[in-house]
């Protein structure tokens, strides 16, 4: 009954008490270490069966979007600083950057152009394309055909955003869906999380981002439902705009340099970057299209070296692969060599249903019945109130038994 409790003391004492609360709150926020919760001791590149792990971002905006700031050169410089190996910039409804010769290898970062197409039903990404002609008013069929004719592929963006979810059909030509879109994470976070993020931002930026991060249940449900029928790729989308508008003034906020390290797509590729633009472009697009990837909130710990694979008498597969249903299958989950004082748990899902939860760094399980199998690696992160909260560190793509 704080409202009716009489306040004793002078106004100076009340002010001092308030200040003490603020200082204690800030001190607690500053003391929460996010980077370093999980320390990866694996050498870069991991041990992945001779495969190469290629890390980077999909779905960013540059100044070729009316609502974004930052040139290709600037984004590429920041990406290089964060050691990203690839980045796919998807500006709104145009691929002018391709004509302007902006794609290329900047330092060690491969920079590619796709498109984010505004449809009447919602938003779609077109990747692996060389051109974009679809008009805003055209039916989605035109866009899907245009991408298919260029042997590109389509990923659903913002599919379950609370303001602009995808309202159309999920066409067979759609290859996958954004599981975590950082813009959706901000829009759809609870009010309490937004307040916490705003309070934390000045003193602990990483904690602020983590406050907004939540498991996007609705989009995962959609992913699982489609994956139970056919391969359907999940990706992480950073959706960086660097554009905050307040009373007609634009601010470069939140900055790419702060957002880029939050989470990454880890592609598992047959070959290492060759330095040849066309070859590396093909390598990256093929890995995404095949779902040979996992998403990780690398802010919590570098996830390089993770692997989810399966073995049958007749063959072997990794995330994204389809193996034979009905055959004895040994699935294997392996985390990189890590150090963490917190318990790491692995959840295994089959067609969206959790079938195993195990505190482990690696383990094997048997399967065989038809369905899509994927794993989430979770960890409890600290909260201001000290209780901890479970968040997903790694989302694998499924291995399918069909």
Q: Output the CA angle 155-156-160, nearest 5 degrees.
A: 155
Q: Which long-range contacts (CB under 8 A, 24 or more apart) does 98-101 make?
A: 98/130, 98/131
Residues 6+ apart with CB under 8 A from 23: none
Identity of the residue, 161 or 396, whose beta carbon is nearer to Zn ion in the bound complex: 161
Identity of the residue, 61 or 102, whose beta carbon is nearer to Zn ion in the bound complex: 61
For residue 162, the Cα-to-chain-centroid distance in whole angstroms is 18
The CA distance from 269 to 315, in Å, is 18
The nearest distance, CB 59 to Zn ion, in angstroms, is 6
The candidate with the shortest Cα–Cα distance to 240, out of 183, 300, 161, is: 183
Identity of the residue, 40 or 243, whose beta carbon is nearer to Zn ion in the bound complex: 243
Identity of the residue, 239 or 302, whose beta carbon is nearer to Zn ion in the bound complex: 239
The CA distance from 253 to 68, in Å, is 10
Q: Are strands 174-181 and 233-240 parallel, antiparallel or unpaired?
A: parallel
Residue 55 near residue 233 (C-beta atoms within 8 A): no
The nearest distance, CB 128 to Zn ion, in angstroms, is 17
The three-class DSSP label of residue 110 is: strand
The CA distance from 280 to 103, in Å, is 12
Identity of the residue, 146 or 184, whose beta carbon is nearer to Zn ion in the bound complex: 184
Burial (CB < 10 A; 0-12, 13-18, 19+), residue 274, is: exposed
The nearest distance, CB 171 to Zn ion, in angstroms, is 20
Identity of the residue, 188 or 239, whose beta carbon is nearer to Zn ion in the bound complex: 239
The nearest distance, CB 87 to Zn ion, in angstroms, is 14
The nearest distance, CB 92 to Zn ion, in angstroms, is 7
The nearest distance, CB 88 to Zn ion, in angstroms, is 12
Identity of the residue, 161 or 329, whose beta carbon is nearer to Zn ion in the bound complex: 161
Residue 46 near residue 304 (C-beta atoms within 8 A): yes
For residue 105, the Cα-to-chain-centroid distance in whole angstroms is 22
The nearest distance, CB 239 to Zn ion, in angstroms, is 4
DSSP 280-347: HHHHHHHHHHHT-EEEE-TTTS--TT-EEEEEETTEEEETT-EE-TTS-EEEEEE--SEE-SSPEEEE
Which residues lie across from 89 on neighbouring strands?
Answer: 60, 113
Identity of the residue, 74 or 380, whose beta carbon is nearer to Zn ion in the bound complex: 74
The nearest distance, CB 400 to Zn ion, in angstroms, is 29
Identity of the residue, 116 or 376, whose beta carbon is nearer to Zn ion in the bound complex: 116
The CA distance from 86 to 61, in Å, is 14
Identity of the residue, 116 or 188, whose beta carbon is nearer to Zn ion in the bound complex: 116
The nearest distance, CB 228 to Zn ion, in angstroms, is 28
The nearest distance, CB 397 to Zn ion, in angstroms, is 21
> Pseudo-torsion of CA 8, 10, 16, 22, nearest 10°?
50
Alpha-carbon dihedral sign for residues 371, 225, 155, 357? negative
Q: Could you list the residues that contact Zn ion (CB under 5 A)?
A: 116, 239
């Amino acid at each position: 009954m704080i409202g009716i409790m009489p306040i004793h003391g002078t106004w100076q004492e009340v002010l001092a008490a308030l200040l003490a609360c603020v200082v204690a709150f800030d001190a607690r926020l500053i003391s929460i270490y996010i980077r370093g919760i999980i320390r990866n001791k694996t050498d870069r590149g991991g041990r992945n069966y001779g495969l190469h792990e290629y890390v980077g971002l999909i779905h960013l905006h540059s100044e070729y979007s009316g609502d974004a700031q930052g040139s290709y050169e600037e984004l590429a410089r920041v990406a290089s600083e964060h050691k990203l190996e690839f980045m796919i910039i998807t500006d709104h409804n145009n691929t002018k950057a391709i004509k302007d010769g902006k794609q290329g290898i900047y330092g060690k970062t491969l920079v590619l152009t796709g498109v984010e197409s505004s449809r009447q039903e919602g938003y779609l990404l077109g990747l692996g394309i060389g051109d974009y002609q679809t008009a805003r008013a055209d039916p989605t069929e035109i866009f899907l055909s245009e991408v298919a004719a260029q042997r590109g592929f389509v990923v659903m963006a913002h599919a379950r955003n609370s303001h602009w979810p995808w309202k159309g059909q999920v066409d067979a030509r759609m290859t996958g869906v954004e599981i975590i879109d950082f813009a959706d994470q901000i829009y759809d976070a609870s009010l309490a999380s937004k307040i916490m993020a705003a309070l934390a931002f000045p003193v602990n930026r990483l904690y602020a981002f983590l406050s907004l991060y939540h498991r996007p249940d609705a989009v995962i449900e959609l992913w699982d439902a489609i994956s139970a029928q056919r391969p359907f790729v999940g990706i992480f989308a950073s959706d960086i705009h660097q554009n905050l508008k307040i009373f007609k003034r634009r601010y470069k906020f939140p900055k790419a340099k702060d957002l880029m390290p939050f989470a990454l797509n880890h592609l598992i590729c047959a070959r290492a970057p060759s330095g040849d633009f066309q070859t590396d472009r093909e390598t990256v697009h093929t890995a995404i299209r095949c779902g040979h990837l996992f998403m990780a909130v690398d802010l919590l710990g570098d996830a390089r070296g993770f692997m989810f694979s399966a073995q049958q008498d007749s063959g072997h597969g990794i995330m994204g692969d389809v193996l034979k249903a009905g055959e004895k299958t040994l699935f294997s989950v392996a985390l990189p060599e890590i150090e963490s004082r917190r318990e790491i748990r692995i959840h295994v899902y089959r067609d969206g249903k959790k079938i195993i939860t195990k505190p482990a760094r690696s383990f094997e399980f048997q399967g065989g019945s038809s369905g899509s199998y994927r794993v989430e690696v979770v960890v409890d992160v600290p909260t201001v109130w000290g209780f901890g909260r479970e968040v997903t560190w790694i989302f694998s793509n499924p291995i399918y038994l069909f």
